[in-house]
Structure 1
Amino acid sequence: MANFTRFAVCFLLLFSAACSSAPGSHLLNPALRHTKRMPMPPAKKKVSDLIQARIAAGDLKEGSVYFHALNTGYWFGLGEHQKFIPASLLKVYLLIRVLQEEESWPGALKSSLKLQDDVRNASQEVLPYERLVQGRQYTVEELLSHMIVYSDNSAAYTLHTRFGDKSLEKIYFDFGLQTGGKDETYLTLKQYMMVFLSLYNGTYIGADLSGRALQFLSDSKFKDGLKAGLPPGLPVAHKFGERGVSTPQGRLQQLHDCGIIYYGDYPYMLGVMTRGDDIKKLAAVIKDVSALIYSEVDYRSKEARN
């Protein structure tokens, strides 16, 4: 019996060593050695059913969803290649451009600019806020904060007049975004989510400034989309965008919310883009998708720990 036990122990040790040195194992992401898989195939079907039910109910005309588990790389999308008008989502690219300036010229965020009003300034329907004072001097950092936290269009316009140069165009180009001309800019959800992935990994601007960008985004006051479907206090770095477009059939609304949800050891990216007639119903769709995904991640994470 003792001989058998010694044989079994030796076999297990040899087997473990063989597994750890399997062909190609050195080519894998080292983080995978410490990560438990958390596949979520059922979630895609549930989200698809939710979207189709909302379309059938008339709450939604079109919707796109993108999910990405950041510790495993598992992702799925629904209509993630549909094109939408990004609207205020573009402010994240401008945020990156200004932080690039700080990277090249430390202290740039402390410089001042006079607030200018955008004559095209569209009124917000989903996030009322106290506006900055026209003609007053604000630091670049204050303008950045207002642009992201409140999605302030005047702050964005003021920053764009100073930083909307070829460097910003290069950022658009690097992320596959085509701008310019008289037509609206369009992008896909999957395309847009790559900007959040680059910030999370600190791959486009340095880690310190990427963290700073995510801090601005985590201070967002918009609570009717992704955050509405999450437990209070769960950190979320996100940006919303809204746009109304006149069509022969009437006014068509678009509402989007995209970001990173910091759920313990299982952070994930989630983006939802929507089109429909009623902005409040679109916000409810985003909320319900967020709640559904959270419940799936919560369940799967507990399952993975056992």
Structure 2
Amino acid sequence: MLKEQLIAYLKKENVQGAFLIKDLSDGETLCHNECLKVPSASLIKMYILVEAFRCIKIGSLTLDKEIAVKKEDLVDFSVLQFLRPRLYSLEELLSLMVVYSDNTATNVLVDYFGMASLNELMQQIGCRTSVIQRKMMDFAAAEEGRQNYTSVMDMTSLLERLYQGSLLGQPFDAQMLDIMKGQADEEAMRRDLPDELVIARKSGELDALDHDIAIVYTEKRNYIYVFFSWETGDNNCGRKVLAETSKLVFDYFQGK
């Protein structure tokens, strides 16, 4: 019933979409276009987070490692563009990248780890529709066809393994979830949900494209919400789609 509701909602709003909703108590899964490769927007930042903690796990990196942010690194949609260039700890850059979706922090970390290593990581963890081919705000690369991609299946797999503690193992998976729980964006899937809910999430947007991925922790049961929307007309419409579908999903699980 919920799956049909969500598909009907997409048709009513005249937008394209893909979703995967999973009950983390009994495994019930509802999905649509789950394997479709879609531009990832800021969701690609999740793999940078995982690569950082993979390096921490093997001992080649620490959270207090200092990385230089230079004037030439600064790009739009970034907290760092309003701060002076200096050394920042890896922990600071990861928090800026995930909590505030900071594009400068992201690009600095892409340079630090390298796209080849990030793509190798995606393959190693089984996220085979995901790829990074450009940095944030590199519109010239996008026009040349170098885009970043993922799917709701890949994002769900990533979230579920983080939740289970089976991606990198503990304490690393819990540390990544803690960063995600600090998400500053109160719109999109978060907008119409109770303020007291704990949610580990990451959102992303491009022109006429809005995505949100989340683990929602409730008193009754925890669930994964992964929803992509595109051809939305504008981002206000896309965020509305995420907010209203998220509320439908929340109400479904509250009544289950």
TM-score by length of 2: 0.87
Aligned to 2:114: 164
1:256 lines up with 2:219 in the alignment = no
Closer/same/farther in 2, CA of residues 202 and 132 from structure 1, 3 Å limit:
farther
Alpha-carbon offset, residue 166 of structure 1: 4.6
Residue 145 of structure 1, aligned match among 75, 95, 112? 95
For residue 265 of structure 1, report the CA deviation from its aligned partner.
4.1
Q: What's the counterpart of residue 151 of structure 2?
A: 188
Deviant stretches of 4+, over 6 Å: none
Q: Is the 8 A contact 1:149 1:221 kept in 2?
A: yes
Matches within 5 A, 1:1-306: 42-55=1-14, 61-105=15-59, 108-116=62-70, 121=75, 123-124=76-77, 131=81, 133-164=83-114, 166-174=116-124, 175-176=127-128, 177-180=130-133, 183-244=146-207, 253-275=208-230, 276-300=232-256
How far does the alpha carbon of each residue in 1:106-146 deviate from its partner, in whole angstroms, 9 at most, with x for none? Answer: 7611111111467694x44xxx8575624211111011100
CA contact (8 A) 1:69 1:267 kept: yes
Q: Secondary structure at the match of 2:191?
A: helix
Say what the alpha-carbon RMSD is for the aligned residues.
2.1
Give the Cα separation in 2 of the matches to 1:167 and 1:183.
Answer: 17
| Change over 3 Å in CA distance of 1:188–1:106 after alignment to 2 | closer
| Unmatched 5+ stretches in structure 1 | 1-41, 56-60, 245-252, 301-306
CA 1:149–1:132 in 2, change beyond 3 Å: closer, same or farther? farther
Q: Equivalents in 2 of 1:216, 1:109: separation in Å?
A: 13
Q: How far, CA to CA, are the matches of 2:71 and 2:213 in structure 1?
A: 27
Counterpart amino acid of residue 86 in structure 1: S
The residue number in structure 2 matching 1:304 is none
How many residues are paired up? 242
SS of alignment partner, residue 80 of structure 1: coil
Post-superposition CA distance 1:253-302 (Å, at most 9, x none) = 111011100112410000111112110111011000000110110011xx
Write the letter of the residue equivalent to 2:198: P
Which amino acid letter does the alignment assign opposite residue 97 of structure 1?
E
Secondary structure class of the residue paired with 1:192? helix
Give the drift of 1:221: 0.7
CA distance in 2, matches of 1:272, 1:154: 25
Whole-angstrom distance in 2 between the partners of 1:209 and 1:117: 32
Identity %: 22
Q: Which amino acid aligns with 1:203?
A: S
- Which whole-Å deviations, capped at 9, do the CAs of 1:208-258 have from their partners, x for residues lacking one? 1100000111101111111113111201111111112xxxxxxxx111011
TM-score (norm 1): 0.73
Distance 2:209 2:22 in 1: 23
